[in-house]
Every structure is written in structure tokens, then in C-alpha cells.
Amino acid sequence: MILGIMGDSHDSLPHIRRAIDVFDSENVDYVLHTGDIISPFAMKELGGLGQKLVLTFGNNDGERLALRDVMSSVGARLIWPKVLFDIEGKRIGLLHGEDEDLVKAIAKSAETRLVAYGHSHTASITMKGPTPIVNPGETCGYVCGRATVAVVDVTRKRGRIVELD
């Protein structure tokens, strides 16, 4: 199973469109968004994904009721306030990631196959025991100057960060 992971898109429509192109070209099965979509118009753009979309809220997602309405209309699955969910029998952790200790604790669970988080805007793929911990960085490219997403093969426990620019 191949996952496309993005986060901190902060209304950057050109980068959201580029992420969609990357995920389509990589034939990902699902797309995870780690939060900070920001506005309903950006959520509508994410509705153009050809894959199933699973997401959580971030600390800057202020229009949550309107975002939920758009998520529902495009068939996206909102996990928040929960953190753990299953895809094809695999336990995944998805959170925005303000608390790094929580990210590490979720990764320690024997059942968790992958943890995806954002918030720091810093792209990384690390291992906590057998569990990949993936921060796709920032899709928007506003804070760190790198617009990135991640593509991860959950079965092989391999992934890479993909530059959008």
C-alpha cells in the first residue's frame, strides 16, 4: 500500500495542485493530510484528488465547521479528534503533531504501522523501532522555503520526500 502524505498546505492552491499531480503520478492508494488546510476553498481543491483522502485538523484550521462540510461533500474522511485509524487492516497514526512526545508514543505501539504528523514544517522520515514516522514538511513552502510531500510504501517501510517546486 502506497500513501501520499501532505500537510501544512496553508491555502497554497498552486502547491496543492502540484501535490495532486505528484500523488497521481506515483499511483498512491490513499492521501493523508496532517492538518493546516486552512480554508474551505483549499479543501475543495483537495477534493480533486483521485485517491481516498484521510485528514486531521491542525492548529490553524479555524473554519472547522465549513471545512467539515466540504470534507463531507468531497468524500474525505476526518479522523480528528481521534489519532488512530485503520486502512486495509493497517493501524495508522495521523495527527498535526504539536506534541512530539505523543508522536513518539504512538509510534511505539506494536499495532501502529506508520505515524504521519506535521506542524513543524520540517520534512523528515525516521524510524521508531519498526514504525516509520513521517513529517511531509510543508506543502505550502511558506515557512521553510521548501514545498514538499512524502510518498511512503507502508508494506516495505520505505519512503521519500518529494520537492514540489
SS3 46: helix
pLDDT of residue 52: 94
Q: Looking at the 3D structure of the chain, how many domains does it have?
A: 1
Give the model confidence (pLDDT) of 68-125 as tens digits. Answer: 999 999 999 999 999 999 999 999 999 999 998 999 999 998 899 999 999 999 999 9
CATH number, domain with residue 68 = 3.60.21.10
Half-sphere exposure of 19 (CA within 13 A, CB side): 38
Domain of 96 in residue numbering reads as: 2-163
pTM of this prediction? 0.97
Radius of gyration of the chain (CA): 14
pLDDT of residue 81: 95
